[in-house]
Amino acid sequence: MTKRFPDRPVTVDEFAEWNTRALARQSVSRRSMLKAAVAGAGGVAVAQFTLANAAFAAGGGTAGSAGVVVSGRHLSFVPASDGLLRPAMAVTAQLVSKTGTLPHHLRAWVEVGTAPGHYGDCHEADIQHLYGQYAIPGGPVSSQFYVKAVLTGLRPSSFYHYRVRLSDGTVSGDAHFTTAPATHGHDLRPPKPFTFTAFADVGTNTAPTDPKWAWGQDPASVTGAGGVWPAGVFDDNYYNAADPVAGTNGTDRTPAVTQTSLMATQNPVFTLLAGDICYADPDGSGLPADDSAVPGTPPGKNRYNPYVWDVFLTQIEPQAAFTPWMFATGNHDMEPLYGNTGFLGDSPNHGYGGHAKRLDMPDNGPHTCPSVYRFVYGNVGVLSVDANDLSYEIQTNTGYSGGAQLRWLEDTLREWRRGGLSDTVDFVVAFFHHCAYSTTNNHASDGGLRDKLDPLFSKYQVDLVVQGHNHLLERTDPIRYGRRTRPAPDGSTIRPADDGVTYLCVGSGGRPRYPFRPAPSPTAPPPPGVTPTGPQLLPEGQRYRGYQPAGGANTAENNTENVVNSYVWSKDGTAVNASGYPQGTKVPEVIEWSQVRYDDYAFIAVDVVPGRRGHRTTFTVRTLADALPGSGEPYTEIDRITFERTAGRSRIRTIERPGH
């Protein structure tokens, strides 16, 4: 990536280098930085310890002599270079103390066995220190500790219990997991049916506390332990009062927390989170962190609070400690505080250094793209794509891979559809953040994702694309090379080899919702020469099973698949905007593929039924809405589609081209 110093840094890579140079000029040593981190922790450490200790105790943990607790445990698969899953499991947890430090020579192990209290294997874990400091006065200083281990020597399709033990006598409560089935292809007995879940744009419903940021108030006058962040800065609690789910009189005031619990009811074998994980950076543009002006945001700066990660990891632990969670990165996950922590070579500083410590993303993708990877579970191949590298809307990380990601994606798809794994992988799922296809008012479609991925996915017959970024649920009809091939309403059976790719935005994971497009107007125009008529004169409305618009369909809102005033982001006209990052421009477009729309909180559960070679295999996507008003149920199914293929027969003999 070309450096533009000293003029004006505009990419995450340049911001990180700028910070490194500024710290070097100030002669800030690692020792003084850590002292500052500990000094700055103060009330944060106490408040976060209170949170972690409560979760630790609730999970059955036993404290040791050092005053350290284990929290935020989460699992991840360990795939080989080709994506096939090893008989192993990665475990990560956080170590939290009241002082913000750990005793010298503290050691950690993960013990594994076949029953609670019978842990026959012991794996020594690595304790990793994540620290960072910005040169900006008032910028965040952080110090956090994570324990990491890879459990090897396990058996496929086997149930295990585990716990984390520290050398001071601290022991976490018991948790358990099941390893993935062995991948034999379809000549032998196929894997048993399984379910996985997915969502995006989650966040938290609890804000971290810290007396340093009392916004000019006397700290003694601020209520709560150590002061409180203003609502909506580092949590999700800025819901519209009229939101029928999370609003003042809604059915669920904490949807980010609820979603995790609801997904657990589906007994998933893994969960996908398609970016915008916890919102430690609520501004989401990868700009330098500066908390001195919170709750405002100075131009060219982003608010950032690393301790939001503590809240999030504790929030998801009830599921993630038992089920692997696989993450992609979104625009709110570009955090240029930590440098290239944990990555190899001369990788660009993409803002994912903290992810190397906190998460366990597989390392079988391009070495410069830490959140790009692949894995195969049963007969499903899954691709994590970094949309920040491809986006035309938010361009602080656009192009950082130098094309390496796209080359790797095509190599993988070729192997899964034309090479040695084409007999094993029936269904292909890609998950990433920014939407290639969506119609929301806030972000709509990103032309960078569409231009780069739609031809590739169409060529190699990707079945399902899971997206986020837009805070609602939207499903397209099948699309091939930019065009809808057929309508696929609720209950449809889709044959992707003939019909094309289905795109599903599930940015409905808990963050306050976005609206769909308003009625056509000068501020929300259709393309030149397009004159709206009939329902298209109305604001875009919802469209899902059981929805009853006021006054009937297409009377007060447009409930059709056709939207005449959607838009797609273009790279033409890119300029540094008022917030300080390079951004593309909106191009109005008419679309006909918006099949399902729901603008509150939901996730998807995917039921896979593998089959013997030559027999039918299915992949059913159920959309489950959280606390649908009037249902009286914790969740309601509002859409279902089934993909159908012939097991072991997904090899593409000839590559179809557009127009042929």
Per-residue pLDDT tens digits for 50-79: 889 999 999 999 999 999 999 999 999 999
Report the pLDDT averaged over residues 495-516: 97
pLDDT band at 46 (very low <50, low <70, confident <90, very high): confident
d(CA 14, CA 564): 39
> Which has the closest alpha carbon to 534: 548, 520, 545?
520
| Cβ density class 101-117: b for 16+ within 10 Å, e for less | bbeeebebbbbbbeeee
d(CA 395, CA 387): 10
Residue 39 is predicted with a pLDDT of 45
Could you report the per-residue pLDDT of 613-627, keeping only the tens digit for each? 999 999 999 999 999
> Which has the closest alpha carbon to 376: 388, 387, 384?
384
Which long-range contacts does 583-586 make (Cβ < 8 Å, 24+ apart)?
583/393, 583/394, 583/395, 584/392, 584/393, 584/395, 584/447, 584/448, 586/444
Could you report the per-residue pLDDT of 411-460, keeping only the tens digit for each? 999 999 999 899 999 999 999 999 999 999 999 999 999 999 999 999 99
Considering only residues 344 and 416, tell me which one the structure prediction assigns the higher pLDDT: 416
Mean pLDDT, rounded, of the chain: 89
- Residue pair 85/38 in contact by the 8 Å Cβ criterion: no
Q: At 46, list the tokens.
A: 């106490």
Is the omega angle on the peptide bond into residue 6 within 30 degrees of 0, that is, cis? Answer: yes
Beta-bridge partner residues of 598: 473
Report the pLDDT averaged over residues 214-226: 35
Beta-bridge partner residues of 484: 479
12-646 classified as CATH 3.50.50.60: no
Residue 337 is predicted with a pLDDT of 82
Ranges of each domain in the chain: 12-646
* Residues sharing a CB contact under 8 Å with residue 24, sequence separation 6 or more, in sequence order: none
pLDDT of 43 strictly over 50: yes
d(CA 56, CA 71): 6
Report the pLDDT averaged over residues 190-215: 80
pLDDT of 496 strictly over 80: yes
pLDDT of 222 strictly over 60: no
Percent of the chain residues past pLDDT 70, beyond the cut: 88
d(CA 609, CA 616): 9
Q: At 394, list the tokens.
A: 């938010």
Could you report the per-residue pLDDT of 600-609, keeping only the tens digit for each? 999 999 999 9
Report the pLDDT averaged over residues 491-506: 98
pLDDT of 472 strictly over 90: yes
- Residue by residue, DSSP assigns 160-181 as EEEEEEETTS-BPPPEEEEPPP
Inter-CA distances, 254 with 161, 197, 237, 598, Å: 30, 19, 8, 18
Angle in degrees, 0-180, between the axes of helices 447-459 and 404-417, rounded to the nearest 10: 20
Could you report the per-residue pLDDT of 10-38, keeping only the tens digit for each? 888 887 777 777 776 765 444 444 454 44
> Of how many residues is the chain composed?
660
Q: Identify the burial level of 27 via C-beta atoms within 10 angstroms of its C-beta, where 0-12 means exposed, 13-18 middle and 19 or more buried.
A: exposed
Please compute, for residue 152, the number of CA atoms within 13 A of its CA located in the half-sphere on the CB side: 5
pLDDT band at 184 (very low <50, low <70, confident <90, very high): low
Percent of the chain residues past pLDDT 90, beyond the cut: 74
Residue 98 is predicted with a pLDDT of 86
Report the pLDDT averaged over residues 337-358: 77
